[in-house]
Amino acid sequence: MAALNFSKTKFVLPMIMFGYLLVTTSVTAATYELEMPLPGMAKTLSDPALYIRQFFIFGLSLIAFMAVAALGLGGIMWMLSGSVTTTAKAKDLILGAFMGLLLLLGSYLLLYTIDPDLTKLSLQTLEIYDISEPPGEADNGLTAGRTADNVGCKETYMCEDLNNGKVSAALVSRLNALPVDVTITETTHNHGCFAGDPCVGGAACSTSDHCSGRGVDIRISDLSPQQRQQVLYALNTDRCTEDLYFAGMPGFCMTAGQPAKNSKACKAHTDHIHYSIKPNCQ
């Protein structure tokens, strides 16, 4: 067995510290079935961090066992040595084993000094918070104008965006075809879309569908619950719909064309309907 001298054990402390950092971080996940479970570990886990924790403990136990075995072997070699060379090898083996044990103990003391919780090997569950998108400019409920197809606009520039091509023609045609007249409360502004343009806090700044002209916000305050359902149903069943968010009727929410009633984006849109279409969809 090779001697566990300092040159071969100097990386133990950084590895142990890295292991602790991994162990003390946990994520919420589904049940995982292991192809290679560690000794004493179940074949299924509810958290990947459990595997890292068990691997860390297994590694420490293995290192300690090897160090004790090296001590015993070094002692036997010393007792049975018949030459100076053999005695020197035995001493190196014993010294390397002691260094390994000291590093293990030192790593524990160092982590305990920094924070005693680092030595408990306990998994921490990250708490998930739903952060609603802050509203943009206050909606006074007034309609500043209407397009040629009688779609209402909160501000004049929104009607201009709808009429001059800044908003996708496919999106505009879908708004015009809705069974209920709607009012648009956002088009290409307030999402950091242009130089000097403000961005609504919490929104997808500069990358929003609004910036590419594929998304609009629809006022709900002037729609009855039945009218809202009619609008949402029409948009939800359209093949071009990419994102559709409104917390008031989460059953109609979609992300990337797939149902997303439990998504954060759906829950965050409480005072308007966000609607966008897929790129290049006609």
CATH classification of the domain holding 187? 3.30.1380
Contacts of 17 (CB under 8 A, 6+ apart): 107, 110, 111
Is the same domain home to 20 and 88?
Answer: yes
Which among 140, 187, 183 has a CA at the least distance from the CA of 167?
187
Is the same domain home to 169 and 263?
Answer: yes
Write b or e for each residue in 173-205: b if 16 or more Cβ atoms lie within 10 A of its Cβ, otherwise e.
ebbeebeebbbbbbbbbbbbbeeeeebbeebbb
Please name the residue ranges forming H helices in the chain. 6-9, 12-23, 48-80, 84-114, 156-163, 169-176, 225-236, 264-268
Instruction: List the chain residues with pLDDT less than 50.
Output: 1-29
- Please tell me the total count of domains within the chain: 2
* Residue 130 placed within a domain: no
User: pTM here?
Assistant: 0.53
pLDDT at 172: 92
Is the same domain home to 111 and 152?
Answer: no
Residue written as token pair 């806090």? 201
pLDDT at 257: 86
Host domain of residue 245: 145-277
Contact 92, 3 (CB under 8 A): yes
Is the same domain home to 272 and 154?
Answer: yes
Q: How far apart are CA 233 and CA 224, in angstroms?
A: 14
The two tokens of residue 238 are 């359209």
